[in-house]
Amino acid sequence: MTIDRAGTAIRPLERHHLSAALEIQALAYPAALLEHERAFASRITLAGSCCLAATRDGVLIAYLLAHAWPSRAPPSIGNVLADPVVGEVLFIHDLAVSLTGRGTGVGRQLVLRAFDLAARDGLERAELIAVEGAAGYWQRLGFTSPEVPAESAGKVAAYGAAARWMERDIERRN
């Protein structure tokens, strides 16, 4: 666990965070992009999980769903995931910040911590699907928008008309 100057603690996302995380998700995304409880929980328990919670005064203010996953094979929305998974990349499935957490940099903190965990586990690249106009945010974190891999095009399209495939290398930080 790490705690910043503002008192925000970054720790593993656990099942007891689920209710609060689902509330944050419901405020952050349109209905078509919401994960149901079983699908959301399945990401937390995967081997290679880099799912993280940001709390302030014991209250969840942001979460990150990220886990080791096969390259260029994003999971479909709503799928319940199960081990074993051959983790080739860090797949960032979801980042959501509550209204009280916005503008604090907590999203960036979560992503950088997940990169550290992924690098420790030997993962060298991160992939994601940016939704709802978030591509600019991810670009500021070093992601680029290469051509959508043919084998992933249908899954990317399912995330909405503005969805963009993005990826970046993970550098080991010390």
In a domain, 52, yes or no: yes
In a domain, 167, yes or no: no
pLDDT attached to residue 172: 73
In a domain, 155, yes or no: no
Q: State pLDDT tens for residues 47-84.
A: 889 999 999 999 999 999 999 999 999 998 899 998 87
Note the pTM of the prediction, 2 decimals.
Answer: 0.93
Q: State pLDDT tens for residues 4-46.
A: 656 899 999 999 999 999 999 999 999 989 999 999 999 998 8
In a domain, 173, yes or no: no
Q: List, in order, residues 6 or more apart from 166 with CB less than 8 Å away.
A: 127, 128, 129, 130, 135, 138, 139, 143, 144, 145
Owning domain of residue 46? 2-124
**CATH number of 9's domain:** 3.40.630.30
In the chain, % of residues over pLDDT 70? 95
If you average pLDDT over every residue of the chain, what do you get? 92
Domain count, the chain: 1
In a domain, 10, yes or no: yes
In a domain, 36, yes or no: yes
